[in-house]
C-alpha cells in the first residue's frame, strides 16, 4: 500500500466531495474496525472454521480462583473395585498414590471399605477422620 505523502484535501481543491461521494462525505462508520463487521454475512465461512464460541455469553472467570482435580472416597472405592486404580503393597501396607493419577484433593465422609495409605496433595477433614477410623493413613504431599 502506498503512503499518501500529501493531504488529500490539497489535491481535491475545487472538487466539492473530495472523492467521497454525494451522500455521506466520509462520515459515519468511524469505530467499526474493532467490531468485526460481517461475521454473520460475508465472513461466515471463516467464523464456522475458526470462530467457535464467537456468539453468545461467555461468563466471567475469576482469575484468583484455584481449580483442583477432586476425587471422592466413594468414587475411589468404585475405581478400586473395577481395577482401574492399582494398589501397591510395600511392607504389607496397601498404598494408593492419587497424585500419580492426576488428583489433587480427596474429599468425602464415607465410601472406602479397606484401610489404605493414600498419598495426595490435599484432603478434607472428614476424609482424614474416616480413613483414620478405618485404620488407614493420609500422607499429604504438599503443605499449604
> Which grid coordinates are listed for 132?
483414620
Task: Give the burial class of 96: count Cβ atoms within 10 A of its Cβ; 0-12 exposed, 13-18 middle, 19 or more buried.
Answer: buried
What domains can you pick out in the chain, each with its CATH number? 70-140 (3.100.10.10)
3-state SS assignment for residue 92: coil
Specify the pairing of strand 93-97 against strand 88-90. antiparallel
Note the pTM of the prediction, 2 decimals. 0.57
Question: What local confidence, expressed as pLDDT, does residue 142 receive?
Answer: 80
Question: What local confidence, expressed as pLDDT, does residue 74 receive?
Answer: 93
Per-position DSSP letters for 19-32, written without gaps between them? TSTTTTTT-S-TT-
Question: What local confidence, expressed as pLDDT, does residue 21 receive?
Answer: 84
Question: What local confidence, expressed as pLDDT, does residue 75 receive?
Answer: 93
Residue 97: CB atoms within 10 A of its CB come to: 17
**Averaged in consecutive runs of 10 residues, what is the pLDDT profile of the chain (144 residues)?**
77 86 74 69 89 88 92 93 90 91 91 90 94 92 72
CA-CA distance, 24 to 79, in Å (whole number)?
A: 70
Amino acid at each position: 500500500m502506498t503512503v499518501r505523502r500529501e493531504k488529500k484535501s490539497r489535491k481535491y481543491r475545487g472538487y466539492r466531495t473530495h472523492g467521497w461521494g454525494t451522500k455521506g462525505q466520509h462520515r459515519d462508520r468511524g469505530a467499526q474496525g474493532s467490531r468485526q463487521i460481517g461475521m454473520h454475512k460475508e465472513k461466515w465461512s471463516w467464523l464456522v472454521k475458526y470462530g467457535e464460541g464467537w456468539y453468545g455469553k461467555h461468563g466471567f472467570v475469576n482469575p484468583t480462583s484455584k481449580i483442583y482435580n477432586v476425587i471422592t472416597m466413594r468414587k475411589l472405592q468404585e475405581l478400586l473395585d473395577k481395577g482401574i486404580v492399582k494398589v501397591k503393597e510395600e511392607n504389607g501396607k496397601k498404598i494408593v498414590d492419587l497424585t500419580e493419577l492426576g488428583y489433587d484433593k480427596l474429599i468425602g465422609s464415607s465410601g472406602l471399605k479397606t484401610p489404605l495409605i493414600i498419598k495426595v496433595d490435599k484432603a478434607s477433614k472428614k476424609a482424614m477422620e474416616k480413613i483414620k477410623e478405618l485404620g488407614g493413613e493420609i500422607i499429604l504431599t504438599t503443605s499449604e
